[in-house]
Amino acid sequence: MILLLTLLIGIGVAFFAVRYFTPEKSQPHRQGQPSSAASCSLSCCLSDDIKLNAWQKEAMQTPEREYCRCRDSLSVQIDRKRLALADILLQPEPDIPAIDAQLREIAKLQTELEKKTIIHILEVKKHLTDEQQERFIKPIVHEIRKRCQHRELPASKPQ
């Protein structure tokens, strides 16, 4: 039960992180382009109101490309594991040990993705002024808190 709860929470946080750091398909400069590290840009995770200077943009280009490559690869692996899990669930008599194995593999990949995302957030944060950090981090924290609206969770201190 604890593993399942941890997995569900992990999926929620990772979903948010990937969604937050993945560019919208409706952005005009991205239409028709594949979602890959080669086309990943700072615009996918830093809104215009953060107002990066030229030095900041330059300093974050390489870490952004590396993160996108890693994020995309892990996301594809997770999707493949989920599809394999779905195939198992479709069986007339699903193999419980196989389900458990898929869940463990998904959880491992999900944890790796979350760690990489947090490391990336901290890397980006290092290059920002205090004011920019607030504009960058507040929406992330807000989204995490919004997704954790369970009555049994202790209240966290607002920032």
Distance CA 134, CA 136 (A): 5
Q: What was the pLDDT predicted at 100?
A: 97
Q: Which helix (H) or strand (E) holds 81?
A: helix 54-89
pLDDT of residue 129: 92
Pair of tokens at residue 128: 């920002």
| Confidence (pTM) | 0.63
Q: What is the pLDDT of residue 153?
A: 56
Q: What pLDDT does 82 receive?
A: 96
Nearest CA among 129, 157, 148, 156 for reference residue 15: 148
Which residue in the block uniquely carries the two structure tokens 């215009």? Answer: 48
pLDDT at 54: 87
Per-residue pLDDT of 96-148, as tens digits, reads 999 999 999 999 999 999 999 899 889 888 889 999 998 888 888 888 888 88
pLDDT surpassing 80 at residue 92 = yes
Q: What is the DSSP string of 42-66?
A: GGGTS-GGG---HHHHHHHHHHHHH
Structure tokens at 29: 């400069």
What digits encode the pLDDT tens for the residues 23-71?
443 333 333 333 444 445 555 566 677 888 888 888 888 888 888 888 8
Domains and CATH numbers, the chain: 51-147 (1.20.120.1490)
Cα–Cα distance measured from residue 28 to residue 102, given in angstroms and rounded to the nearest whole number: 37
